[in-house]
Amino acid sequence: MLNWTAFTEAQILLFALIFLRMIAFVVASAFFGSESIPVSVKVLLSLVLSVMLFPIVRISNVDYLVISNEIISLAIRELVVGLSIGFLTRIFFFVVSMVGDLIAMSLGLSAGQMFNPLLGTTGNAMESFYSTLGTLVFLAINGHHILIRAIFESYSLVPVSSLSLNIGPFGEIATFGSTALILTIKMCAPVLVTILLVNLAMGILGRAVPQINVLVTSIPVTIMIGMTVVFICLPLMIMEMNGLVEMTASQVFKFMKAL
């Protein structure tokens, strides 16, 4: 049992470093960093998790002298580590949001804008629909547990007292971003290909029967067929989201082990 009233100066600095990484992760993470969550709740969550983690980190071999002498460098390092891990967890929701945005553009629904509380931005209805669906899938497979386990294990994989930081894994984040972009195209490919074929068919029909106003007729037809394909492909979309969460989790742990 820790005596919280008898902290030394080095122990206070150690707790501050733990708290810095934690709050940077919470602010930048996918689920806990949502704009709809008040800042006070984020700070309180970071504080509670830091208090829970402090006895574990304290038991490990921590050089208090190093912490006292290099507090500025260690503080910057903890912020960078926390923000990097949190950013990686957001890629799942970035992909889901891009899928909805691309589908809305292909269906001609991108003009109607609404607030997306998950990302804190303004988007269209399809983007909000896919973001909500992605959040439900994320919670259903205990993605929030993966987030908490990732930040807990980061303190053993990336020790607080170490001044070294390998910058090589940061280049892999860009590679993972390109992989996420490819997955985005694959996830919305059925709708995009369907809309392309519908537009091609409407163009041929307009040439064959000039009396038909293709510009006006094609809008409801495109939306109807596109929405039908969207709902038909929902089970496949959920499977892809499940695989994307697992891929993101493996990338986060791979990134921490390489730091």
* pLDDT tens, residue by residue, 118-155: 555 666 778 888 888 888 888 888 888 888 888 888 88
What would the mean pLDDT of 97-120 be, rounded to a whole number?
A: 73
User: What rounded mean pLDDT belongs to the chain?
Assistant: 80
Per-residue pLDDT tens over the stretch 52-105: 888 777 544 455 656 666 777 888 888 888 888 888 888 888 888 888 888 888
Asked if 259 and 162 touch (Cβ cutoff 8 Å), the reply is no
70-74, 127-131, 177-181, 182-186: segment of lowest average pLDDT: 70-74
Residue 141 makes CB contacts below 8 A (sequence gap 6+) with 242, 245
pLDDT at 214 over 80: no
User: Minimal CA–CA distance to 233: which of 200, 193, 179, 196?
Assistant: 193
CA dist 12 and 152 (Å) reads 19
Kind and range of the H or E element at 123? strand 121-124
pLDDT number for residue 75: 84
Q: Which residues pair with 113 in a beta bridge?
A: 124
HEC profile of 19-54:
HHHHHHHHHHCCCCCCCCCCHHHHHHHHHHHHHHHH
| Beta carbons within 8 Å of 72's beta carbon, 6+ residues apart | none
Under the banding of pLDDT at 50, 70 and 90, the label for residue 49 is: confident
DSSP 5: G
| pLDDT exceeds 80 at position 233 | yes
* pLDDT-based confidence at residue 206 (cuts at 50, 70, 90): confident
For residue 177, the model assigns a pLDDT of: 80
Q: Which residues pair with 114 in a beta bridge?
A: 123
Instruction: Determine the average pLDDT of the residues in 224-232.
Output: 88
